[in-house]
Amino acid sequence: MAELQAEVKRLTELSAQNNASKREENSSKGKINTDLLSADPPKEKLTLDNPFSEEITLYQMPKHFTLPSSLEPYKGIGDPQAHIKEFQSMMFFNGPNNEPLLCRAFPTYLNSAALLWFSKLPAGPISSFEELAKSFIDYFAAARIYVHGSDYLGTIRQGPHESLKDYLTRFAEATIEIPDLDPAVHLHALKAGLRPGKFRETIAVTKPKTLEEFRERAAGQMEIEELREAKKIEKRQPRREDDRTTRSVSVKDLKKPFRLTPKFDNYTKFNTRREKIIKEILKAKIIKPPTRAGSYQDQRFIDKSKHCAFHKKYGHTTDECVIAKDLLERLARQGLLDKYQADPKLHQIQHKKGEDHQRNPQSQDHKTTNKGRKLPRSTLYR
């Protein structure tokens, strides 16, 4: 019985201890959760870590130090070694290689992925520019796959209408991106890219062995092309001026309607209007109706208020029609319009006088008789 009571007591103590430990555990978890909720979120770091040693960090920059302005920042694409060389060559004007100076200025020419790489460098281990350059080249070594190789030059071809100067300029821009380009490969690709023509045949015959020899041949060809282009421009300019003159003259001529000149010096006076005579002789078939009117007058300037019975068109009246007027005069002188004449005898005098004037125009004036007396105005009717 004593042993049983002792065992019950032991179990009771163990149970009490377990309950106490659970309460402590729960209270500690609640405290941790409360601390997590009340704690402020970590702030993003706004400053870059300094990857340089103390000597480089404390280096005093020269007062007259100037950063090169023509160097493009490296963005993580392209040959990193070429960027290092270009940076060093542009910094050379500030003096001989100065390790602290190069290290402090180099991050200025980084951007995008390259600047992100620099921001993640650990603090303090870099003590020379050589270490910085090696770390930079190693990290972006894979970026060199974007750089053209010498095989790329084989794809460059001179266009059918591209000048030799433009072709050589475009080819030179491509060779700049290719490091350690073999001059022989350069020359072969340059000759292979020429379009078929006289210059390519000249190169095939002369066979220049160096780039300098090729450039000497190309210089002469470029001068020839420039002269040809200048001649083309000179030929185009006068043509344009002639076109402008022709256009201005033609426009002026269109604005001024064309006028026919009467063929006779004097005309018969009829006892009725020419329009009525024209209608009657057309009806009597003494004359045939004219074909469609010619182009002696610009149709854009036609006056719709006027109509010609002879041409059956608008733009002028029958009395104003020079063609109808000359036609009636010929018929009158042939004696076919005697019934329409106001004074047939006077017409015969005028007709004879007109013939005499045509034979000897200086002997007498068609407006004056041999005695110097002027004829009536009716005989000079136009």
Break the chain into its structural domains and give their ranges. Answer: 54-146, 150-252, 274-380
Q: What is the pLDDT of residue 132?
A: 92
Residue 93 structure tokens:
């004007």
pLDDT of 353: 52
Question: Which residues, 6 or more positions from 91, have their beta carbon under 8 angstroms from its beta carbon?
Answer: 68, 101, 102, 105
Residue 283 pLDDT: 83
**Residues contacting 62, CB < 8 A, separation 6+:** 94, 95, 101
Q: Is the pTM of this model over 0.85?
A: no
Q: Which pLDDT belongs to residue 125?
A: 82
Q: How far apart are CA 106 and CA 134, in angstroms?
A: 13
- Kindly report the number of other CB atoms within 10 A of residue 158's CB atom: 21
Residue 313 contacts residue 307 (beta carbons within 8 Å): yes
DSSP string across 226-253: HHHHHHHHHHHHHHHHHHHHHHHHHHHH
Residue 43: phi and psi, rounded to 5, are -85, 140
| Dihedral sign (CA 50, 55, 57, 61) | negative
Q: 126: helix, coil or strand?
A: strand
The low-confidence residues of the chain, meaning pLDDT below 50, are 36-37, 293-295, 357, 362-382
* pLDDT at site 366: 42
Instruction: Answer whether 160's CB lies under 8 Å from 181's CB.
Output: no
**Amino acid 348: pLDDT:** 56
Dihedrals phi, psi of 52, to nearest 5 degrees: -95, 160
Distance CA 196, CA 209 (A): 20
Crossing angle for the helix pair 211-255 and 183-192, to the nearest 10 degrees: 30
Q: Assign domain 150-252 to its CATH superfamily.
A: Retrovirus capsid C-terminal domain (1.10.1200.30)
